[in-house]
Each structure stands twice: as structure tokens, then as C-alpha cells.
């Protein structure tokens, strides 16, 4: 592994096709607008680098994954709707054109915007002591992206209790609701996330991009409309996958009893 730059609030390390991003803002890994813009720049480079296949997003320390929006910055005058960068708050949840998976490795409490970052991830591993909640309504603001995502992920009454009644979800409950893929001990967190990343890397890159695009573009549609859109020719990643050499390489490798050699084209 090699560090991509000097130590800062956002540390990015490349390990082959995997980018590991660590948020490091003691004591609670809260995120101000400048840090969010830095994260956006890191994830934009991840999006645009064809050699990178999957990102792992974690945080330093063993108590907070992220306390969300930096309220000290807010008290100093930073506005709730500040410029958080191309990818929105946390760097990747609203990043245009991102067709690569992000794995969140949650090392502690994910509060407010920290929870929203987790909800934006494609895959999530959490330590046993993790907790998730949204205090925004009690602060006179709204967890806006969570208000969009969470009702699609939880039963409405549960989502409502989290969004405006302050319900806290621990790691075990998050696993039951399908908000995380696995709950592990703190000493296993990064190993589990890296193992999950390796499984993603074994898949064809164009196939992964196509699945992500299909979900993003059709998830809100009724089933007949989703299938109609799928066949419309308007899904670039899906069409690229269908026309790719990799779509022939996979069946050929299976028939020959060998591992496929993906070209990404």
C-alpha cells in the first residue's frame, strides 16, 4: 500500500484495485464543508480512475464513524446548505456518474450525516458497538438525504421513528433490518471490508457498473416500467456490458474451467 498524499482529515490509500478512504477528524469525525469537499475530490478521482474498482470508507478511532455535520462549524457561521462538493455531504452519495461500489466500514457511532453516509453506501460492515441515529429534527433541521433513502429501506413507521422521533438503532438491529451486511468485532472490521471488496473485484467491472446503474435508474419505477426502461437502450453501463468482450469472456472461462480475465471492455 502507498499513501496518496500527506496526512490530513482525509487519508486515501490505494491497494491494487481498492481505494481505502479514512476520515480522521478527532474527536468525533464530524464533517465540515471543507472536509466534505475534500472527500468529494477523492471520490471523484476514484470514479474517474479505471484501475480502481471498489472503495472502502472508514474512520479513525474506535468511538465515532462520524458525528455528521460539524456543529462547531455551524456555530461559526457555516450554513446548513453549504457547498459540500460535487458528491454532496460525505463525498459520494450524490456523485454524478459513480458506477463503482463503496463499502462503509463503520467503526462506531454513525450520527446524523454520518448515518446518511452509511445509507448511501452499496455495502456496509459494522463493529458490534455501532449505533445509528438522526438527531436533526431535534436541532431544528432535517436529515434530507436520509428522508429520501430511509423510507425506501425500512418499514414506514420505523423510518418515521428514526427520522423525527429520535430512535437509535444498534448494530444487531441494523443487521436485522438489512441496513448492514455484517457485524464483526472491532479487530475484524477492515479485514471483513477488504474481503468483501475482494469479492467485488472478482466480478466483471462492467457487470457491477451495469447493476448499479440499473438500480439507480429503475428503483423508483413500477416493475413493468422498470423492465421497459431496461430494454430501452438508455442505460449506458448496461448497453456497454452487453456489447463487451467481457460478456463473452465470462462464459468462455467457465466452459474452460479457468478464472476469467476481465478487460473492462
7 band by pLDDT with thresholds 50, 70 and 90? low
Three state DSSP letters for 58-84: EECCCCEEECCECHHHHHCCCCCCCCC
pTM for the whole structure: 0.93
**What's the pLDDT at 41?**
97
CATH architecture of the domain 204-256 equals Orthogonal Bundle (1.10)
When pLDDT is averaged across residues 105-126 and rounded to a whole number, the result is 97
CA–CA distance, 10 with 23 (Å, rounded to integer):
5
Alpha-carbon 200 to chain mean position: 14
**Distance, CA of 15 to CA of 187 (rounded, Å):** 20
Distance from C-alpha of 48 to C-alpha of 55, rounded to nearest angstrom: 13
> Active-site residue numbers?
116, 136
Decide if pLDDT at 184 tops 70: yes
* Mean pLDDT within 60-85: 85
What distance in Å separates the CA atoms of residue 118 and residue 29, rounded to the nearest whole number?
14
The domain segmentation of the chain, as residue ranges, is: 2-201, 204-256
Using the structure block, give the residue that is written with the C-alpha cell 462549524.
73
Joined together, the cell numbers standing for residue 110 give 454513525
Contacts within 8 Å (CB) and 24+ apart, 173-177: 174/126, 174/130, 174/132, 175/126, 177/153
CA atoms within 13 A on the CB side of 16: 5
Confidence of residue 5 (pLDDT cuts 50, 70, 90): very low
pLDDT > 90? residue 222: yes
Superfamily name and number for 2-201: 2-enoyl-CoA Hydratase; Chain A, domain 1 (3.90.226.10)
Question: For position 1, what pLDDT does the model report?
Answer: 38
Whether residue 125 is predicted with pLDDT greater than 60 in this model: the reply is yes
- Tell how far CA 25 is from the center of its chain: 19
pLDDT category of residue 247 using cuts at 50, 70 and 90: very high
Cα-to-chain-centroid distance, residue 244:
27
Amino acid at each position: 500500500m502507498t499513501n496518496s498524499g500527506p496526512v490530513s482529515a482525509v487519508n486515501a490509500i490505494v491497494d491494487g484495485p481498492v481505494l481505502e478512504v479514512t476520515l480522521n477528524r478527532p474527536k468525533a469525525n464530524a464533517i465540515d464543508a471543507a472536509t466534505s469537499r475534500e472527500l468529494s475530490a477523492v471520490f471523484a478521482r476514484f470514479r474517474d480512475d479505471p484501475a480502481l474498482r471498489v472503495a472502502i470508507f472508514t474512520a479513525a478511532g474506535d468511538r465515532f464513524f462520524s458525528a455528521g455535520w460539524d456543529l462547531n462549524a455551524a456555530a461559526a457561521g457555516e450554513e446548513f446548505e453549504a457547498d459540500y462538493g460535487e458528491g454532496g455531504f460525505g463525498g459520494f452519495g450524490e456523485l454524478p456518474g459513480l458506477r463503482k461500489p463503496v463499502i462503509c466500514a463503520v467503526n462506531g457511532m454513525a450520527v446524523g450525516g454520518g448515518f446518511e453516509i452509511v445509507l448511501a453506501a452499496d455495502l456496509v460492515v459494522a463493529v458490534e458497538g455501532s449505533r445509528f441515529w438522526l438527531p436533526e429534527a431535534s436541532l431544528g433541521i432535517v436529515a434530507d438525504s436520509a428522508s429520501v433513502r430511509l423510507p425506501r429501506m425500512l418499514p414506514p413507521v420505523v423510518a418515521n421513528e428514526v427520522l423525527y422521533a429520535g430512535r437509535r438503532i444498534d448494530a444487531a438491529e441494523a443487521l436485522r433490518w438489512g441496513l448492514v451486511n455484517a457485524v464483526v468485532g472491532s479487530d475484524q472490521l477492515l479485514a471483513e471490508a477488504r474481503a468483501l471488496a475482494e469479492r467485488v473485484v472478482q466480478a466483471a467491472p462492467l457487470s457491477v457498473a451495469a447493476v448499479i446503474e440499473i438500480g439507480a435508474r429503475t428503483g423508483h419505477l413500477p416493475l413493468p416500467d422498470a423492465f421497459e426502461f431496461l430494454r430501452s437502450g438508455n442505460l449506458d453501463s448496461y448497453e456497454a456490458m452487453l456489447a463487451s468482450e467481457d460478456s463473452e469472456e465470462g462464459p468462455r472461462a467457465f466452459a474452460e474451467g479457468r478464472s476469467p480475465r476481465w478487460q473492462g471492455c
